[in-house]
Structure 1
Amino acid sequence: MNNDGKVGPHRRQRLAQTVIETLRDRITTGDLTEGDQLPTEIQLESEFGVSRTVVREAIAELRAGGLVTPVQGKGVFVARQQPGFRHASLTPREIKSIPETLELLEFRIAVEVEAAAISAYRRSPHQEEAIRAANQQMVAEIQAGNPTVDADFAFHLAIAQATDNRYYIESISRFGARSIPRSQFPTLPDTSNVDYLMGIAAEHDRIIEAIADQDPDTARIAMRDHLLNSQKRYRRLAR
């Protein structure tokens, strides 16, 4: 098993991707079906020769993609599969929004990854609490079955505000809630899928913890992973 202390963040990400792709293939090919339990963390560590951190990162991404769901005290199970991203399920207006959405995500990656790093070493206790509160509000909206776009945007804006740099703040503020991709695709099942939305909140939690730990490098990685995951989801719409 790999030791996290000896594995750099980029190599750890590659290892996690191997686990993700293997488990995703097992689910999509039917080797693992709805309700099946995934191997335990210890079993996955042994099978792939990776650390528990890598396993948890892989499971978090599968959860964000709506492929698996954790059950407290029991383990992680294959989730009921929602309809995939298909043009047939989109309105003409949504289809027209695809290129702009991808361009905006590309811009956000360039801006928000570094904003997360800066906020990690510059944020005040009050600003850190504002970031946490925004994600807590998003979780509350998910649990209540309410729209989550405004709370999601508030989370990203709070990080920009924690940089104390007006250009980051203005860049994020300019687009408003429109910068959250699912705001442009209301007919997609994922916009109201609890497992999918809780996966996004979990990605937010990893960003928060890096900022709280004043760890710019990990904050960069966590934000980049978060936005790249979103980019991957919406690139499927362009196929």
Structure 2
Amino acid sequence: MLEARKTKARLAETVIEKIKADVGAGRHPPGSQLPTEPKLMEAFGVSRTVIREALAELRAAGFVHPIQGKGVFVTDRLPNTLLTLSQDERRSIPRTIELIEFRAAIEVEAAGLAAARRTSSQDFEILSKSRIMRQSIHDDSRTSQADFDFHMAIATASNNAYFVEALSQFGSAAIPRANLPNLTEARTPAYLETIQSEHDKIVAAISAQDVEGARAAMRAHLKNAQSRYRALALAVRDAPAS
């Protein structure tokens, strides 16, 4: 099953790169409509699922946009907000994605162990850190440290010192937006509320001592983070430097 997911991801990446190449070559100029899903499936020899995954990533990156009842169209130009990233920030995105992958390898299991082993005081600490994160959103404060403290509280509740040690070496730099100060989209209340809603699901599962639910909630949270930053990497890959 894992190999099948990897294969599908590689196929989607191939479709993405080919569509981008066609846009760059003028075969799909800005503002033009892309071929329908059946035609794309035929052209690339892949399933509808792969095509939809590729289009979803292109849409998230700002390369295409759907018009209801008409189809999917190439955007006129990349969003201006992407052009505010410095060259150093652009270069850091692949490393940021690698860090999220590493975090997933340890934090999914840490969440499961926290659900199984947490004490009442540790459960309260996780909830408290979540509330501080939510308050920082409403206060327009810096949220990276509060976000990191929340994840550290979960690692601590696993009652395994190695999880704490692995995560603590990064500090708040473990939070992707801390490394991209010019990525203003990652600091909007709407974006941060999305993060908070994912945190809420993790908190609920750990509090209920739902081991598999806690793992699933943490896995979904970090997978969503990977998707967001992979879309960003795709968007800035060919964008001009600021």
Contact 1:142 1:194 in 2 (8 A): yes
SS of 1:146's equivalent? coil
The residue identity in structure 2 corresponding to 1:120 is A
Q: 1:189 aligns with which of 181, 184, 187?
A: 184
Distance 1:230 1:115 in 2: 18
Is 1:155 equivalent to 2:150 in the alignment?
Answer: yes
Q: TM-score, normalised by structure 2?
A: 0.65
Counterparts of 1:127 and 1:120, CA distance in 2: 10
Q: Distance in 2 between matches of 1:102 and 1:114?
A: 19
Deviation, 1:238, is: 2.2
Q: 1:170 to 1:85 in 2, by over 3 A?
A: farther
- Asked if residue 225 in structure 1 is aligned to residue 212 in structure 2, the reply is no
Question: Offset at 1:85?
Answer: 6.8
Corresponding residue for residue 62 of structure 1: none
Q: Which amino acid aligns with 1:159?
A: I
Point out the structure with max Rg over C-alpha.
2
Deviation by residue 1:186-232 (Cα, 9 ceiling, x = unmatched): 11122321011011011000000000110110111100000000000
| Separation in structure 2 between the aligned mates of residue 172 and residue 200 of structure 1, nearest angstrom | 19
Match of 1:204 in 2: 199
Query: Aligned letter for 1:162?
Result: A
Pick from 137, 146, 150: which aligns with 2:141? Answer: 146
Aligned runs of 1:99-138 on 2, under 5 Å? 99-138=94-133
How big is the alpha-carbon RMSD for the aligned residues of Structure 1 and Structure 2? 2.4
Match for 2:217: what amino acid? A
Superposed displacement of residue 161, structure 1? 0.2
Residue 175, structure 1, aligned to residue 170, structure 2: yes
CA contact (8 A) 1:190 1:197 kept: no
Counterpart of 2:99 in 1: which secondary structure? helix
Percent sequence identity over matched residues? Answer: 43
The alpha carbon displacement at 1:148 in A equals 0.3
